[in-house]
Structure 1
Amino acid sequence: LSFRHLTVGIIFLSQSTVGIVGNFFLLYHYMSIYHTERRLRFTHLILTHLTVANSLTILSEGVPQTLAALGLKSFFTIFTCKLFLYLQRVGRGMSISSTCLLSVFQTITISPMNSCWKELKVKAPKYVGISIFLCWNHYTFINLVFPMYVLYMSSQWSTKNITQEGDSGFCFTIHQETIRALLYAVLIVCPEVLFSVLMIWASSTMVFILHRHKQRVQHIHRTSVSLRSSAESRATKNILILMSTFMSFHSLSSIFNISVAFIDNPSFWLVNIAVLISVCFPTVCPFFLMILLLKSFIFLLFKIS
């Protein structure tokens, strides 16, 4: 076991451990809220599924990459490789769709009652559950029923290939027919692009709504209005920060993954950096949300006192 493999293995092990613990703690927090209140607000419901998606990503990318870097390649067969890649695709798809749902529903929620969305504003919370179900159904069904048409699903884990391709411990894709690439683009890439566009639109709309809302309440000094306005603004700003963080890591990860896919013999460091960046958001997301929860709690204590 070389020094670089040991170093990469320790980095992935640390990242995966921190990410799994963070997501488990956050999931436990939301489950406790549900157990106490018997219901979850739509933001908490979406964040719960985002946490599950993040956990899938860490388990399907961080954990196998750690084992491969530490020289435990005999554990991986064609079946286990495809299983990990399947979970990876589902987790990645649910991560972007959950973040998109969070931004879109928050945009509808903070929209003025006199806007064109006034009817949807009232009905939107009822559609959160079915929207999440459809997203899970889409990514689970597509990646399960059409594995031959998904690029990563036709990869094979081979110790010989790993050694010849820079000992990176990654599943290398084989030559794909044009029809497979087109189907992959339609079923996987197009929804991700659509979700990204929706997030950008929702972010821009929320910024515009916040700006107008701030101008309207500048001269209002009633405490109740001030508290409500402040709470809405904080919640929206927090979601904007979460989306910005996700889009930054997602874009950077996509660039590296595309580079790995189109390079015949990707280097050891390129492949590992690509995986490291892919697992960054699922790792930091729960701690980011915990900080926001702590800030909200401190804010409420300050207002009450």
Structure 2
Amino acid sequence: MFSLKNVLYFQAGLGVLANMFLVCFYIYIIIGHRPKLTDLISCQLTFVHLMMFLTGGDFWLTDLFETLNIENDVKCKATFYISRVMRGLSICTTCLLSVFQAVTISPNTSLLAKFKQKLKKYIIYALFCMWSFNLSFSSNRIFYVGAYTNVSETSQMKATKYCSLLPMNYIIRGLILTVTTSRDVFLVAVMLTTSTYMMIILFRHQMQCKHLHSVSYMRASPERRATQTILLLVVFFVVMYWIDFIISTTSLLLWRYDSVVLTVQKFVMNAYPTITPLVQISFDNRIIIMIKNLQSKYLHICF
């Protein structure tokens, strides 16, 4: 368990640093440069992942609440509520990013082409709807989460060191599970559909342009690199999501949490927000160019 905890701390530290760097980069791009249409979505996704680390364990935000002398019950409700909102926003934002990239690279002869000119307007509406939906949908956490006590332990399911899920009616539990599962399955299906569509477009484009461009040129295409990045993120998200879903659903149905299982679930749940910024940093040429420019300026000042 000690080694697993160390892995969690290392994962959280790496994730926080990478996401903080990426948030600063996107703010810099959005404010001072010409951002891509997907930069605003990517910025939100990075912010959401940063918040997931701050609210996803027995540390970070919990330590802040301790210094402010906030009651455990309020602390548990706040951290669980924010954590569930951010988890919902993560899957919604990833799905939105996949959809908008599919529209962006769609041929002018396709049915999606008519939406290209209105993408910026749709992005604002989509982000507003996502926040509104997840803030309201996750409000049940306020009522069914509280501070863990040793009294009537059989009626509580210990979720963290200080917090537990309070007893709930079987009908309410089933309703929450059904609605959450329906939402997630729908969004995952949309992601897989748009990913398949993008793969078909890339394959057709590669076949059509084979006699015009070299393979190295095609690999360097910004649209191609952006699409490959999103495809990679979607596939990784789907795999991690279903592993997390199986663990959490099984624990909820059995109304039992094992400490080792909980630690493994946290690692799986944090894998996507840890890998995402690293993939984005690796595939975004603007970040690489910015880092090289900063290095050259630093060397110029020093010498």
Q: For the superposition of Structure 1 and Structure 2, which TM-score range results when normalised by the shorter chain? A: 0.7 to 0.9
Matched with 2:228 is 237
Which string of whole-angstrom CA distances, capped at 9 and with x for unpartnered residues, describes residues 78-128 of structure 1? 211111110111110110011000101111111110112221232223211
Matched with 2:187 is 195
- Structure 1 residue 156: Cα displacement: 2.5
Pick one of 283, 295, 300 that aligns with 1:292.
Answer: 283
For residues 163 and 14 of structure 1, the distance between their equivalents in structure 2, rounded to whole angstroms, comes to 32
2:150 aligned partner, one-letter code: K
Q: 1:57, 1:92 within 8 Å by CA — same for their partners in 2?
A: yes
2:128 aligned partner, one-letter code: F
What TM-score, normalized to structure 2?
0.81
Instruction: State whether structure 2 residue 2 is matched by structure 1 residue 28.
Output: no
Q: How does 1:120-131 map to 2 (within 5 A)?
A: 120-131=115-126
Pick one of 6, 14, 19 that aligns with 2:10.
Answer: 14
Pick one of 102, 105, 109 that aligns with 2:100.
Answer: 105
Instruction: State whether structure 2 residue 195 is matched by structure 1 residue 208.
Output: no
- Structure 1 residue 27: Cα displacement: 0.2
Matched with 1:262 is 253
Matched with 2:43 is 48
Matched with 2:130 is 135
For residues 50 and 182 of structure 2, the distance between their equivalents in structure 1, rounded to whole angstroms, comes to 24
For residues 129 and 44 of structure 2, the distance between their equivalents in structure 1, rounded to whole angstroms, comes to 13
Instruction: State whether structure 2 residue 121 is matched by structure 1 residue 95.
Output: no
Percent identity, aligned pairs only, is: 25
Please give the secondary structure, in 2, of the residue aligned with 1:169: coil
Matched with 2:74 is 79
Specify whether residues 211 and 296 from structure 1 end up closer, same or farther in structure 2 by C-alpha distance, changes over 3 A only. Answer: farther
Specify whether residues 76 and 200 from structure 1 end up closer, same or farther in structure 2 by C-alpha distance, changes over 3 A only. Answer: farther
Q: How does 1:174-193 map to 2 (within 5 A)?
A: 174-185=166-177, 187-193=179-185
Gaps of 5+ in 1: none
Q: 1:260, 1:270 within 8 Å by CA — same for their partners in 2?
A: no
For residues 15 and 213 of structure 2, the distance between their equivalents in structure 1, rounded to whole angstroms, comes to 43
- Structure 1 residue 183: Cα displacement: 4.2
1:210 aligned partner, one-letter code: L
**Greater Cα shift, 288-297 or 90-99:** 288-297
- Structure 1 residue 161: Cα displacement: 7.2
Please give the secondary structure, in 2, of the residue aligned with 1:218: coil
Q: How does 1:146-165 map to 2 (within 5 A)?
A: 147=140, 153-160=143-150
Instruction: State whether structure 2 residue 242 is matched by structure 1 residue 247.
Output: no
Which string of whole-angstrom CA distances, capped at 9 and with x for unpartnered residues, describes residues 227-247 of structure 1? 698332222111101111111
**Greater Cα shift, 276-285 or 187-196:** 187-196
Q: State the number of aligned residues.
A: 283
What TM-score, normalized to structure 1?
0.81
Pick one of 259, 270, 294 that aligns with 1:279.
Answer: 270
Q: 1:33, 1:40 within 8 Å by CA — same for their partners in 2?
A: yes
Q: 2:30, 2:40 within 8 Å by CA — same for their partners in 1?
A: no
Gaps of 5+ in 2: 293-303
2:199 aligned partner, one-letter code: V
For residues 131 and 14 of structure 2, the distance between their equivalents in structure 1, rounded to whole angstroms, comes to 25
Q: 1:60, 1:85 within 8 Å by CA — same for their partners in 2?
A: yes
